[in-house]
């Protein structure tokens, strides 16, 4: 399969309708079964709604990135997307420092803020189901890794969560250098979030996330 000429850019609010359709088609419903990232046998309903996507686009410490190809009439067509977030390492998001206590020469205690390890978080990953399997996903992931390292020079690793039941997707990331996290190997599945989505329903009661990470050399 010939590699399309991809252009990467930040998502804008005007992209929201196209992004909602893309993300839904990659994961939910009959359309998603044309690709291999489908979750149709695991979860029903919308994967994300307009307010949620709008908030991600506006996130000051992150970015929603889109991959486009030339479309009709000189417009660009979004065929893939992802989200990249910046945070400190560990299970608690948003805490950029850790505090250590030291003893001064006169015996008094003093708290000093030490920078916590910084990581990039990779999510909201979607490729048009009819274009999956042709290397687009790999290129999006590589672009996201480079984006995180360039925008946040202190980022030492990239992490993500994958449904544990999707061994094939976990293996795909493994071939790209991602391994299970040694410090936080799993996270709970967001049942409440799914229930809040239109038509949201979890089809299996054994779902949970595996946390994968890649340390940059």
* Residues β-bridged to residue 82: 65
Per DSSP, the three-state class of 92 is coil
Unique residue bearing structure tokens 């992931």 = 141
CATH architecture label of 7-91+116-215: 3-Layer(aba) Sandwich (3.40)
Q: Where are the domains of the chain?
A: 7-91+116-215
DSSP secondary structure letter of residue 182 = S
Beta strands in 89-198 (DSSP E): 97-103, 109-115, 118-127, 155-163, 179-180, 186-188
Mean pLDDT by 10 residues, the chain (217 residues): 85 98 95 92 96 98 97 89 89 37 43 66 97 96 98 97 97 98 96 96 97 96
Give the pLDDT of residue 73: 77
């Amino acid at each position: 399969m010939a590699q399309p000429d991809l252009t990467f850019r930040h998502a804008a609010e005007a992209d929201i309708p196209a992004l909602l359709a893309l993300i839904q088609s990659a994961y939910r419903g009959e359309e998603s079964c044309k690709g291999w990232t489908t979750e149709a046998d695991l979860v029903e309903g919308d994967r994300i709604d307009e307010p949620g996507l709008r908030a991600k686009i506006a996130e000051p410490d992150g970015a929603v990135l889109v991959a486009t190809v030339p479309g009709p009439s000189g417009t660009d067509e979004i065929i893939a997307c992802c989200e990249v977030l910046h945070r400190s390492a560990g299970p608690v998001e948003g805490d950029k420092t850790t505090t250590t206590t030291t003893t001064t020469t006169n015996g008094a205690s003093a708290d000093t803020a030490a920078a916590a390890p910084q990581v990039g978080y990779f999510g909201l990953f979607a490729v048009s189901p009819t274009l999956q399997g042709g290397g687009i996903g790999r290129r999006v992931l590589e672009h996201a890794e480079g984006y995180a390292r360039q925008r946040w020079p202190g980022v030492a690793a990239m992490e993500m969560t994958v449904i544990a039941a999707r061994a094939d997707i976990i293996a795909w990331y493994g071939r790209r250098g991602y391994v299970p996290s040694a410090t936080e190997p799993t996270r709970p599945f967001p049942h409440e979030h799914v229930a809040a989505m239109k038509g949201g329903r979890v089809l299996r009661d054994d779902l949970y996330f595996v946390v994968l990470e890649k340390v940059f050399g």
